[in-house]
Amino acid sequence: MKIIVLAGGLSPERDVSLISGAGICRTLREKGHQAFLMDVFFGFPYDSGKLEEVFDLPGAGLEIAEGIKTTAPDLEALKKSRPDQSDCYLGPNVIELCRMADITFMGLHGSVGENGKLQATFDILGIKYTGPNSLGCAVSMNKLVTKQIFKSADVPTPRGTSLTQETKDTPLSELGYYLPLIVKPCSGGSSIGVYIVHTEEEYTNAIHESFDVNHEDEVVIEPYIKGREFACGILAGKALPLVEIIPKDGVFDYENKYQDGGAQEICPPISIDEDTQKAIQAAGEKAFEALRMDVYSRADFIVDDADGRFYCLEMNALPGMTPASLMPKAARAAGIEYGDLCDRIIEESYKARYR
């Protein structure tokens, strides 16, 4: 198959996406596909009359993946570095090459790549793509909407509320929330902009950082739950084995997620019994269905150290797909190797929308 692997873009998770895309592209080529890695924002400037030969270029576009840094990228600097200085999200030849491909593999994380906008655009243009549909992506990207849907579907989730620029100075007592709290972007991933706050000063600083530094439109606050974290990959509506995450310094933040030795990841888990694992997997499947997801995704859970109750924190429409990411790790525990997982995602995408 001719496959464009889309990655990069203008998300704080850009670097992670490029590594995911590179891994996907390499393994698809190893399996005999004509795969090419392309940055959705920078595109691929090329002679428009020769675009068909792009799928056979020896480098496969892999040179754009340089590695994951310990800090999120400077998006403003990236915008200024685009040669054509266009404000269009889609770079040169993105649409043209995606049209030529048999399918576009979505290796994007966060922002436009994961919030359903690009999926809806491709639906309108008749471009085939992998991963969840536009509705599932849009709904799961907003953490407050996700909470509301979880509650209506009896998926256990922490209570929470959102703050906007207009309401950000509302006293916690009026909101009915008390320290310690989690402050996090309403739409976002990779633990970027997530703060654990124990004091009024920390809370005020976190809100300031979220709105003024991270340029958020809306943030979510929810009670802090001290507990153990678990990832529940979902493939074609069925839960994969859970992955238990044990960060080296207690917080599974951006740095610990993507740097060697940042966290211990155990699959299947050893700290919870089999019945609890099955209950979390069932809740993951229910969350997947409630959010109108299809193909694949990953639900994140926490088990409270105090009482053993578990909660679904969020659903990731396009989870990390580096060979060492949580979703491939869970698939491997189920007997599905990385390359076969990528092929399976393509197969399930066709089943969901194109047959």
CA Rg value for the chain = 20
pLDDT value at 255 more than 60: no
Task: Write down the domain spans for the chain.
Answer: 2-129, 140-156+226-353, 161-223
CATH 3.80.30.20 for domain 2-129? no
pLDDT recorded at residue 192: 63
**Cα-Cα end-to-end distance for the chain:** 16
Q: What is the pLDDT of residues 1-38, one digit of tens each?
A: 999 999 999 988 899 899 999 999 999 999 999 999 99
pLDDT value at 327 more than 70: yes
Q: What is the pLDDT of residues 261-318, one digit of tens each?
A: 557 999 999 999 999 999 999 999 999 999 999 999 999 999 999 999 999 999 999 9
Higher model confidence: residue 203 or residue 255? 203
- Percentage of the chain with pLDDT > 70? 93
- Percentage of the chain with pLDDT > 90? 80
- Exposed, middle or buried, 285 (CB in 10 Å: 0-12/13-18/19+)? middle
pLDDT recorded at residue 261: 52
pLDDT recorded at residue 253: 44
Hey, what are 227's tokens? 């507990």
pLDDT recorded at residue 72: 73
245 three-class SS: strand
pLDDT confidence bin for 59, thresholds 50/70/90: very high
pLDDT confidence bin for 153, thresholds 50/70/90: very high
Task: Give 161's strand partners.
Answer: 221
Instruction: Compute CA distances 105 → 6, 108, 119, 343, whole Å.
Output: 6, 9, 11, 10
pLDDT value at 174 more than 50: yes
pLDDT recorded at residue 254: 43
Task: Give 299's strand partners.
Answer: 232, 315
pLDDT recorded at residue 48: 92
pLDDT recorded at residue 172: 92
pLDDT recorded at residue 314: 95
> The domain at 161-223 falls in which architecture?
2-Layer Sandwich (3.30)
pLDDT recorded at residue 190: 44
272's CB contacts (< 8 A; 6+ apart) are 228, 230, 244, 280, 303
pLDDT value at 251 more than 70: no
pLDDT recorded at residue 212: 75
pLDDT recorded at residue 249: 66
Average pLDDT taken over every residue of the chain:
92
Q: Where are the alpha helices (DSSP H) in the chain?
A: 14-30, 75-81, 94-100, 111-114, 117-125, 134-141, 143-152, 172-175, 200-208, 254-258, 274-290, 326-333, 338-353
What distance in Å separates the CA atoms of residue 126 and residue 136, rounded to the nearest whole number? 18
pLDDT value at 332 more than 90: yes
- Exposed, middle or buried, 341 (CB in 10 Å: 0-12/13-18/19+)? buried
Q: Among the CATH numbers 3.30.470.20, 3.40.50.2000, 3.40.50.300, 3.40.50.2300, which is that of 140-156+226-353?
A: 3.30.470.20
pLDDT recorded at residue 132: 98
